[in-house]
């Protein structure tokens, strides 16, 4: 059982000039374990990406601790896979090479160890016919799909998704939501996903974290017990949607 714990995490950034600091996060505490899918919503600038980068081990807290299975997070690691809002691909490698390179980073040294999964993911993302193309030849949505499957191939214990579907058209977006759901249900690992889309947060998450800005805080940590597959037009769904929207408005007006 994997357990990710954030314990009284604060994060400030120094401004370029003077001694002013931006207090990006204040006293963030939550625990998430295998089988949980956390959707994180909140106004722009409330520290959502900062939380993801802290968990990824790309930056460090000003105070407080982040642990995975009791161990302090000290650096990036393939056990915590992150998909950024803007796809970060290796421009000098083809689609297939981008995928295989990440598998080798995980420590798979023999092609046979990752080849079938690599092929399956290419198929799933509709990229099989583009396997020999380079990232600049792909559409925005295709590049984003490649970034997603590239993180999926390592089956991370913690899957960090920072608005991964923002660049996709509505149809592809709904398909990818179902793929992310399937991946999570199969692995039963931890997923944290930042989104601006309330419907997406409710369609996917077992929990919805609603944040408030300046400094970024957790306003609500809501359980979402609706059974899967969820129906976006059901009364229960619409009721919860209303609840989250009201919280977000309230969150924006308290400063």
Interface positions with ligand ATP (CB under 6 A): 13, 22, 24, 44-50
Toward Mg ion, which CB reaches closer, 135 or 164?
164
Partner touching 243 among Mg ion, ligand ATP, none, CB below 5 to 8 Å by kind: none
Altogether, the residues listed in the chain come to a count of 255
Toward ligand ATP, which CB reaches closer, 35 or 43?
43
Q: Supply the minimum distance, in Å, between the C-beta of residue 127 and ligand ATP.
A: 27
Q: Supply the minimum distance, in Å, between the C-beta of residue 45 and Mg ion.
A: 8
Toward ligand ATP, which CB reaches closer, 7 or 23?
23
Taking the CA atoms of 1, 163, 222 and 234 in sequence, report the sign of the dihedral they define. negative
Q: Supply the minimum distance, in Å, between the C-beta of residue 183 and ligand ATP.
A: 23
Neighbours of 196 (CB within 10 A): 13
DSSP structure class, residue 134: -
Q: Supply the minimum distance, in Å, between the C-beta of residue 112 and ligand ATP.
A: 40
**CA-based radius of gyration for the chain:** 18
Partner touching 177 among Mg ion, ligand ATP, none, CB below 5 to 8 Å by kind: none
Residue 40's DSSP bridge partners are 194, 209
Residues in the site for Mg ion, rule: CB under 5 A? 49
Nearest residue (beta carbon) to Mg ion: 49
Q: Distance between CA 7 and CA 31 in Å, rounded?
A: 8
Q: Supply the minimum distance, in Å, between the C-beta of residue 25 and Mg ion.
A: 12
Taking the CA atoms of 101, 103, 104 and 106 in sequence, report the sign of the dihedral they define. positive
**In which residue are the tokens 């995490």 written?**
9
- Contact call for residues 37 and 230 (beta carbons, < 8 A): no
Toward Mg ion, which CB reaches closer, 11 or 96?
11
């Amino acid at each position: 059982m994997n357990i990710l714990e954030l314990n009284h995490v604060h994060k400030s950034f120094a401004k370029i000039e003077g001694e002013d600091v931006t207090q990006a996060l204040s006293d963030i505490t939550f625990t998430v374990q295998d089988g949980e899918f956390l959707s994180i919503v909140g106004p722009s600038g409330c520290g959502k990406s900062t939380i993801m980068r802290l968990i990824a081990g790309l930056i460090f807290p000003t105070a407080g601790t982040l642990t995975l299975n009791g161990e302090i997070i000290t650096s990036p690691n393939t056990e915590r896979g992150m998909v950024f809002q803007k796809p970060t691909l290796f421009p000098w490698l083809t689609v297939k090479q981008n995928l295989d390179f990440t598998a080798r980073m995980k420590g798979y040294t023999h092609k046979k160890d990752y080849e079938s999964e690599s092929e399956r993911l290419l198929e799933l993302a509709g990229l099989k016919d583009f396997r020999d193309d380079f990232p600049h030849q792909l559409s925005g949505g295709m590049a984003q799909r490649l970034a997603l499957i590239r993180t999926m191939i390592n089956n991370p214990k913690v899957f960090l998704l920072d608005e991964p579907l923002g660049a996709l058209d509505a149809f592809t977006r709904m398909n990818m939501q179902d793929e992310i759901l399937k991946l999570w249900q199969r692995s039963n690992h931890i997923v944290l996903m930042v989104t601006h889309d309330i419907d997406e947060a409710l369609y996917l998450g077992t929990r919805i974290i609603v944040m408030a800005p300046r400094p970024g805080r957790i306003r609500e940590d809501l359980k979402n017990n609706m059974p899967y597959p969820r129906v976006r037009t059901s009364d229960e769904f619409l009721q919860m949607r209303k609840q989250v929207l009201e919280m977000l408005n309230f969150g924006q007006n308290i400063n």
